[in-house]
Amino acid sequence: MEKATFGAGCFWGVEAAFRHVDGVTGTAVGYLGGTTENPTYDDVCSDETGHAEVVEVEFDPARVSFDQILDVFWQIHDPTTLNRQGPDAGAQYRSAIFTHSPAQEAMARASLERAQASGRFARPIVTEITPASAFWRAEDYHQRYLERRGMASCHI
């Protein structure tokens, strides 16, 4: 199994989207990219910790490639809005790819270039690509939030 970690707005909808991808074996929502150890949801929402709401995706590379996972990432959010997705605003909602290896970083950068060149986005992509740091799992009530409430998706 391999891991991929993404920020693409509110983590509830992002998690739901990745859970439907064939070859994804698990997901967890949490916080990454900030300076506070073991942040809470309230800490992250204060916009003072530097963390992004993220989804850690575990996938089977024999069934789905990292490039295919990246394609899903580009499809499920607007990577051209800085620190915002829909009505959600703040650095915790930024578009981000947190890489787990040099190979993932290279693939993510190439994927960003392809996405920008595709003409699908009218504005420049602002997605950050950085090495993954400590992943802090979000509180239990956030895990599979939409699924547990019988909701298929929300805006992302």
User: DSSP secondary structure string, 61-96?
Assistant: TTTS-HHHHHHHHHHSS-TTSTTEETTEESGGG-EE
Is 154 part of the annotated catalytic residue set? no
d(CA 124, CA 137): 31
Per the structure block, which two tokens stand in for 55? 């989804």
Q: Which of 5, 6, 8, 10 is the catalytic position?
A: 10
Per the structure block, which two tokens stand in for 105? 């970083």
> Per-residue pLDDT for 145 more than 70?
no
This model's pTM is above 0.95: no
In 3D space, the residue among 107, 21, 118, 11 whose CA is nearest the CA of residue 67 turns out to be 107
**Full set of structural domains in the chain with CATH:** 2-148 (3.30.1060.10)
Predicted confidence (pLDDT) per residue in 60-99, tens digit: 999 999 999 999 999 999 999 999 998 899 999 999 999 9
In 36-71, which positions are buried (b, 16+ CB within 10 angstroms) versus exposed (e)? eeebebebbeeeebebbbbbbbebeeeebebeebbb
pLDDT, position 107: 98
pLDDT, position 149: 66
* Res. 150 pLDDT band, cuts 50 70 90: low
